[in-house]
Amino acid sequence: MIIDENLEILEKTLKKLSIYEKQGLDLSYLKSFIKSYKTFISINDIKPDYINMTEDKKLSIIQTFLEDEKVFPKIRNIIEFVNNELHLNFKSQNASREITIQRIIKRIEKNPEIKTKLKNVLQEILNENKTKSYKLNTNLTNYNDLSKWAEMLKDI
């Protein structure tokens, strides 16, 4: 959806320009606009259009979820999650976080049923608010991160 893309572009632009803020560039209007834009999206209940999304885009969202260090602070947490909840029988190979996630994504590409499992597991975690070793704690930040991801992944 165009609105989501626009918000993403605005946030990336703000991030890129923030290095100049220390040198005197006033970004307050851009920050205010982004905040207003997010409010507009939430008030009008504008949701992303996942139905028309390509398979690659869906996989990139799953990849971004696995890369989220708030949800999975260590590689071990990712591996425990995919083994315990998605039953992938994934072995730690002392590879980097990026390579490990790429290998998991390749397995998801081969077996699309795993996407459904992932959606169900996230929803179950939120509903039961269960604590596992792959989660940080049941603190509000982690719960909000998981609920954000559950919302994004539910229609994929």
Domain ranges of the chain: 2-43, 55-153
Please state the rounded mean pLDDT for residues 75-80.
Answer: 86
Q: Which amino acid is at 25?
A: L
Q: What is the pLDDT of residue 153?
A: 64
Q: Residue 90 corresponds to which tokens in the numbers above?
A: 């994934």
Question: Which pTM was predicted?
Answer: 0.55
- At residue 101's C-alpha, the angle toward residues 95 and 107, to 5°, is 110
**Mean pLDDT over residues 71-97, rounded?**
83
Query: What band does 58 get if pLDDT is binned at 50, 70 and 90?
Result: confident
Q: In this structure, is the dihedral angle defined by the CA atoms of residues 49, 31, 136 and 138, taken in order, positive or negative?
A: negative
DSSP codes, 42-54: HHTT-----TT--
Question: Above 50 in pLDDT, residue 95?
Answer: yes
CA distance 142 to 74: 14
Tell me which residue has tokens 């790429």: 102
Dig out the tokens for 156 from the structure.
Answer: 């994929």
Mean pLDDT to the nearest integer, 61-84 = 84
Give me the torsion for CA of 75, 117, 53, 2, rounded to 10°.
-70
pLDDT band of 2, cuts 50, 70, 90: low
> Are the C-beta atoms of residues 50 and 7 closer than 8 Å to each other?
no
